[in-house]
Amino acid sequence: MSDGPKAMIECQDIHKYYGDYHALRGIDLTIREGEFFSLLGPSGCGKTTLLRTIAGFEDISSGAVLIDGKHMEDVPANQRPTNMVFQSYAIFPHLSVAQNVAFGLRRDPRGKAEKAALVEEALGMVGLKGYGNRAAHALSGGQRQRVALARALILKPKVLLLDEPLSALDRKMREQMQVELIKLQRQVGITFVLVTHDQEEALVMSDRIAVMFEGGIAQLDEPEALYARPRDRRVADFIGVMNFLPAQIIGETDSHVTVQVGGLGQVDLPHSQISRANPDDPEPTIGFRPETMTLIGPSQPHTQARETEAVIDEVVYYGDMTYYDLRLENVPEPVRISMRNVFGRDVQAVGTRTRLAWSPGSLVLFR
Amino acid sequence: MSQRSVEGSGLRIYAILYLLFLYAPIALLPVFAFNSGTIIAFPLQGFTTDWFVQMWANATLRRALTNSLIIAVSSSLLATCLAIFAARASTRFEFPGKGGIMGFIMLPMVLPEIIVAMSLLVVLLGSGLSLSVLTVIVGHTLICMPYGIAILSTAFSSLDKSLEEAAYDLGETKWSAFRLVTLPLVMPGIISSLLISFTISLDEFIIAFFLAGNEPTLPTYIFSQLRFPKQIPMIMALGTVLVALSIVLLAVGEYFRRRGIARIGGKDNGGFL
Amino acid sequence: MTKRIFDAEARQGYSLIAPPFVYALLILAAPLLTILAYSFLTDGYLEVVKEFTLENYAQVFSDPIVRKIMLRSLLVAGLVTLVTVVLAFPVAYYVSFMVRPERKSMWLFLITIPFWTSYLIRVFLWKVILGYNGVINSTLTGLGIIDEPLTFILYNVNSIVLTLAHAYAPFAILPIFVALEKIDRSLLEAGRDLGESRVMTFWRVTLPLAMPGVIAATLIVFIPTIGDYVTPELIGGGKIPMIANLIQVQMLALDNRPLGSALAVTAMSIVAVVSLIFLFLNRRFLKVRQ
């Protein structure tokens, strides 16, 4: 990766204070050219502040922002090579769709006809061909979103900043726009930086994700790594569903740690499967994702994997999936397993005594 | 259900009676303005437009009207300009002491006018400045400003903060972003503020009475004529014209307010105040 | 460095607020401070003697005529406020709860129009209605109900109260209407759902929630009426003065600025005390609700 694409945005030890409140606590971050990058975290974690810092709307208390290798300290927002899609879309209500899209071209020396062609092209890119004369306030949420995109992209920025752009849309529209945004990003090849609190959205859309908590970056990784190997307990809690079992460390060598796991028994885990526990709850725990374990029907033969006895406590049917809450021996809290409802597999009943097949490779130790 | 509708119609009758009570005295204006009798009393005598003719020919009244218009136009412009500053400062920026400063600027709204008028008068007389139309403008600007601020604060605060940021992000300067985006969107508020300040100033009596010196304004002229019974029919004609003018101004203001709301696709949520 | 950023926003705010603030300082604060200073000075013939004294306030509080006028002003303003607010509440309630949303602004428009028409003429019209040869008397004599015009309906406190109540009616409706509009309608349904009658729901839910509006209306009516100059002059015939008339007489006719100033300061203090009492009540209401 070191000789990969060049850096587009570099954040160097950025600190930001609002009065006494420490909003950004030493952000070091490099976003590559042409990348779809997401800042993910709960509200108040500083992700929007960081985005607005990159855009130039917020002054930073210390540190530096570089865009395309250039220091941004004395470059105001209106001269940065970035454009923004606002959470509220900020469509100018007194202008038509075309006037909105052409807004940033006011100082452009090109002729009227040329600008009109650019507007039409930008509208076409977001699927709004022929909407130019509509009044902006008469548009639906999804259409406003597209106008905001066209308005930003028409200026051919080096970076497009998106502040929770999908949060105001309903679920169906949101899923459709996710796919469209990915396609659009590939088509224009511009670096996209997305702020979102929706982990699913970040996983679906991003090349890389920075997970933020309390003004700092907890983990920066590709979606798969983030999901499978959360580096600490907060990230694991925030992304997807994870089961936690009490654990006891009984031995440690250079290559692995031996752990006694409640309900599962003894396992050896390599150091790559070890993450940090919460500082305020340092007891070691084992975590695993619901889909990494499988129920085995009573008639099915034994597998290569390890097996554990379990009793079905609750069944939640989701159509394509079924969630089972299982009781393991000596574990007070049930664990959740998800099973795809494929052809020939019956949904099992509550109270059924069953076997759980798993492999140590899907476990993460938090300590 | 029926209980509710009984209650509703009872209240409705009450509300209509209340409106009648509000309008009854005003309804008398045109009745006596077109009545040929010189005494304001029933039964009515006959139809005449003499009082309007007499009003039109009255030189002092013209002078009062000119003065009032100069005062109302100047003070509504001044008050609205000052109100734009205050409303933007209070809705857009946080700074220490904001509440106190704003409270102080809004104070004339809750201060009896006689006190504003008297204290200003004492200072003006003490400093040897002569009373004129100008001193009334100064006073009216002070009392119109809070109304302008109230109207414009609503207009400014209903504005999405990211609109201006978006314009700035798209390459405009802070000033051109304000001019291209904020100003057109708060324009209905500015027009409302101008109209309401104008109406307040045109009607204002106390400050004009004490600060105008020998210059008449419409209300002080009316006040001075009320002592003479034979002038009353003409005052009724004048009142008719003023009320009609007020209603036209208000209707225009309401039209702009609604158009402003419709233009940005907002929801109508009530009247002027 | 954090200090600088904090100051940047504050600086912009201050520079924007400066013009209106300086204007209010010059045109409002300076004169108010002047009369405050005058109220502690001694009156000389045609001039103000720069000698500290409390004599003016002693006079304000001991003179029976001054006391009578102060009490009358309080009484009139109190009555006007009570009448206006009580009469206005049902109208505000009707417009907020019974009128269809799209017609609400028309109702508000109708209610506000009279307020924007010349105050002076509206006050004078009551004189026309109530006067010796006025509408009521000429109608009654014309119909043969009475032989002599009634004299007791004009030039008294009742007629002042009636005129002021009419003049400030729209002032009372609007704040109550705004408070009622803010009430979440599902709260009322919840009240009914929990087994309360309509009347009890109104008493236990609607009225407490409307209280801030009622208190705002009270202040908005009380403050200008206690300082009203025109109505006692026209409807009271100058024989039933209120605070404003007294101040004007002392300041101008008698040219006793220190005493006039002391009266003005006292009047302002009364207004401030009454306002604070009501604002305190309002706070109590809000606290109870939480």
Q: To the nearest whole angstrom, how far is the Cα of A53 from the nearest Cα of chain C?
A: 13
Two tokens at A32?
């590559």
CA–CA separation, A323 and B141 (whole Å) = 70
CA–CA separation, A53 and A56 (whole Å) = 5
Q: In this model, does residue B46 exceed pLDDT 90? A: no
Residue type, B261: I
- Mean pLDDT estimate for chain B: 86
If you count residue pairs, one on A and one on C, with CB atoms under 8 Å apart, how many are there? 10
Percent of chain C residues topping a pLDDT of 90: 17
Two tokens at A296?
């085995």
Q: Residue C288 — very low, low, confident or very high, per pLDDT cuts 50/70/90?
A: low
Q: In this model, does residue A70 exceed pLDDT 80? A: yes
Smallest Cβ distance to C16: which of B39, B89, B226? Answer: B89
pLDDT tens-place string over residues B152-203: 998 888 888 899 999 999 999 989 999 999 999 888 889 888 988 998 898 8
pTM of the model: 0.82
Residue B206's nearest CA partner among C219, C243, C174, C72 is C243
The pLDDT, as a whole number, for residue C92 is 92
Q: To the nearest whole angstrom, how far is the Cα of B118 from the nearest Cα of chain A?
A: 45
The pLDDT, as a whole number, for residue A325 is 93
Judge: B165–A84 Cβ closer than 8 Å, yes or no.
yes
Residue type, C145: I
Given CB atoms, is B170 within the 8 Å cutoff of chain A? yes
Residue type, C158: N
* Three-state DSSP string of B52-106: HHHHHHCHHHHHHHHHHHHHHHHHHHHHHHHHHHHHHHHHHCCCCCHHHHHHHHH
Q: Return the CATH superfamily for domain A290-358.
A: Nucleic acid-binding proteins (2.40.50.140)
B-chain CB neighbours of A107 within 8 Å are 171
Per DSSP (E only), the strands in chain C are 42-44, 47-49
Judge: C2–A61 Cβ closer than 8 Å, yes or no.
yes
Q: In this model, does residue C149 exceed pLDDT 80? A: no
Judge: B22–C169 Cβ closer than 8 Å, yes or no.
yes
Q: Which of C73, C112, C121 to mutate to test the interface with B (most CBs of B within 10 A)?
A: C121
Judge: C244–B114 Cβ closer than 8 Å, yes or no.
yes
Q: In this model, does residue B271 exceed pLDDT 80? A: no
Q: Return the CATH superfamily for domain A1-81+192-240.
A: P-loop containing nucleotide triphosphate hydrolases (3.40.50.300)
Q: Mean pLDDT, to the nearest integer, of A332-340?
A: 90
CA–CA separation, C69 and A157 (whole Å) = 74
Q: To the nearest whole angstrom, how far is the Cα of B175 from the nearest Cα of chain A?
A: 12
Residue of B nearest to A150 (CA): B170
Given CB atoms, is B92 within the 8 Å cutoff of chain A? no
How far from each other are the two terminal CA atoms of chain C, in whole angstroms?
40
> What is the secondary structure of A53-110 as a DSSP string?
HHHTSS--SEEEEEETTEE-TT--GGGSSEEEE-TTTT--TTSBHHHHHTGGGTT--S
The 8-class DSSP code of residue C203 comes to I
Are residues C150 and C136 in contact, defined by beta-carbon separation less than 8 angstroms? yes
Q: Residue A364 — very low, low, confident or very high, per pLDDT cuts 50/70/90?
A: very high
Judge: A137–B265 Cβ closer than 8 Å, yes or no.
yes
Judge: A83–B170 Cβ closer than 8 Å, yes or no.
yes
Are residues C239 and C155 in contact, defined by beta-carbon separation less than 8 angstroms? yes
B-chain CB neighbours of C254 within 8 Å are none
B-chain CB neighbours of A83 within 8 Å are 169-170
Residue of A nearest to C6 (CA): A19
Judge: C5–A61 Cβ closer than 8 Å, yes or no.
yes
Judge: A59–C8 Cβ closer than 8 Å, yes or no.
yes
Two tokens at C87?
């009469």
Neighbouring-strand partners of residue A159: A82, A191
Q: Mean pLDDT, to the nearest integer, of A149-167?
A: 93
Smallest Cβ distance to A86: which of B166, B181, B265? Answer: B166
Q: Mean pLDDT, to the nearest integer, of A123-145?
A: 89
Given CB atoms, is B171 within the 8 Å cutoff of chain A? yes
C-chain CB neighbours of A61 within 8 Å are 1-2, 5
C-chain CB neighbours of B43 within 8 Å are 138, 142
Q: To the nearest whole angstrom, how far is the Cα of B190 from the nearest Cα of chain A?
A: 16
The pLDDT, as a whole number, for residue B261 is 66
Given CB atoms, is B261 within the 8 Å cutoff of chain A? no
Q: In this model, does residue B68 exceed pLDDT 90? A: yes
For residue A244, the SS3 value is strand
Can you give the residue ranges of every domain in chain A?
A: 1-81+192-240, 290-358
Percent of chain B residues topping a pLDDT of 90: 38
Residue of C nearest to B200 (CA): C116
Q: Subunits touching A (CB < 8 Å, at least 3 pairs)?
A: B, C
Q: Which of B92, B170, B182, B267 to mutate to test the interface with A (most CBs of A within 10 A)?
A: B170
Which residue numbers of A have CB closer than 8 Å to C's CBs? Answer: 17, 19, 59, 61-62
Q: For residue C64, give Cα distances in angstroms to A49, C61, C71, C250.
A: 67, 8, 10, 16
A-chain CB neighbours of B184 within 8 Å are 94
The pLDDT, as a whole number, for residue A323 is 92
A-chain CB neighbours of B265 within 8 Å are 93, 135, 137-138
Judge: C28–B235 Cβ closer than 8 Å, yes or no.
no
Given CB atoms, is B246 within the 8 Å cutoff of chain A? no
pLDDT tens-place string over residues B5-25: 666 788 899 999 999 988 888
CA–CA separation, A225 and A176 (whole Å) = 25
The pLDDT, as a whole number, for residue C46 is 65
Burial environment of residue A65 by CB neighbours within 10 A (0 to 12, 13 to 18, 19 or more): buried
CA–CA separation, C264 and C57 (whole Å) = 11
The pLDDT, as a whole number, for residue B268 is 47
Q: Decide which of A198 and A137 is more confident.
A: A198
The pLDDT, as a whole number, for residue B260 is 67
The pLDDT, as a whole number, for residue B273 is 40
For residue A209, the SS3 value is strand
The pLDDT, as a whole number, for residue A216 is 93
Smallest Cβ distance to B264: which of A77, A137, A155? Answer: A137
CA–CA separation, C247 and A82 (whole Å) = 65
For residue A261, the SS3 value is strand
Q: In this model, does residue A39 exceed pLDDT 90? A: yes
Q: Mean pLDDT, to the nearest integer, of A151-172?
A: 92
B-chain CB neighbours of A151 within 8 Å are 166, 170
Are residues B242 and C118 in contact, defined by beta-carbon separation less than 8 angstroms? yes
CA–CA separation, A268 and A270 (whole Å) = 7
Helix C257-289 and helix C55-62, axial crossing angle in degrees, nearest 10: 70
Q: Residue B229 — very low, low, confident or very high, per pLDDT cuts 50/70/90?
A: confident
Q: Residue B1 — very low, low, confident or very high, per pLDDT cuts 50/70/90?
A: very low
pLDDT tens-place string over residues A78-113: 999 999 999 999 999 889 999 999 999 988 889 999
**Which of A321-335, B70-84, B230-244, C28-42 holds the top average pLDDT?**
B70-84
Least confident segment among A161-165, A344-348, B82-86, C149-153: C149-153
Judge: B171–A107 Cβ closer than 8 Å, yes or no.
yes
CATH number of B59-264: 1.10.3720.10
Residue of C nearest to A23 (CA): C2
Are residues A223 and A189 in contact, defined by beta-carbon separation less than 8 angstroms? no
Beta-carbon-side half-sphere exposure of residue C88 (alpha carbons within 13 Å): 34
Domains (range + CATH), chain C? 64-289 (1.10.3720.10)
Residues 6+ apart with CB under 8 A from C167: C119, C122, C123, C231
If you count residue pairs, one on A and one on B, with CB atoms under 8 Å apart, how many are there? 62
How far from each other are the two terminal CA atoms of chain B, in whole angstroms?
33
Judge: A84–B185 Cβ closer than 8 Å, yes or no.
no
Q: Residue C286 — very low, low, confident or very high, per pLDDT cuts 50/70/90?
A: low
Q: To the nearest whole angstrom, how far is the Cα of C38 from the nearest Cα of chain B?
A: 9
- Mean pLDDT estimate for chain A: 90
Two tokens at C185?
């309608």
Are residues C108 and C174 in contact, defined by beta-carbon separation less than 8 angstroms? yes
Q: In this model, does residue B264 exceed pLDDT 70? A: no
Residue B149's nearest CA partner among B106, B108, B113, B107 is B106
Least confident segment among A9-23, B117-131, C120-134: C120-134
pLDDT tens-place string over residues C207-251: 888 888 898 889 888 988 888 888 888 887 778 888 889 888 888
Neighbouring-strand partners of residue A49: none
Judge: C135–B203 Cβ closer than 8 Å, yes or no.
no
The pLDDT, as a whole number, for residue B265 is 56
ipTM of the complex: 0.84
Neighbouring-strand partners of residue A22: A17
Two tokens at A219?
């983990």
CA–CA separation, C105 and B258 (whole Å) = 10
Smallest Cβ distance to B181: which of A92, A137, A151? Answer: A92
C-chain CB neighbours of B112 within 8 Å are 223-224, 226-228, 244, 267-268, 271
Q: Mean pLDDT, to the nearest integer, of B97-104?
A: 91
The pLDDT, as a whole number, for residue A100 is 94
The pLDDT, as a whole number, for residue A191 is 95
Judge: C1–A19 Cβ closer than 8 Å, yes or no.
no
Residue C20's nearest CA partner among B101, A17, B177 is B101
The pLDDT, as a whole number, for residue A280 is 78
Q: Mean pLDDT, to the nearest integer, of C172-199?
A: 82
Judge: B116–C134 Cβ closer than 8 Å, yes or no.
no
Residue B69's nearest CA partner among B190, B238, B199, B240 is B199
Given CB atoms, is A103 within the 8 Å cutoff of chain B? yes
CA–CA separation, B256 and C224 (whole Å) = 29
The pLDDT, as a whole number, for residue C1 is 36
Given CB atoms, is B169 within the 8 Å cutoff of chain A? yes
Residue of A nearest to B262 (CA): A137
Q: Mean pLDDT, to the nearest integer, of A334-360?
A: 87
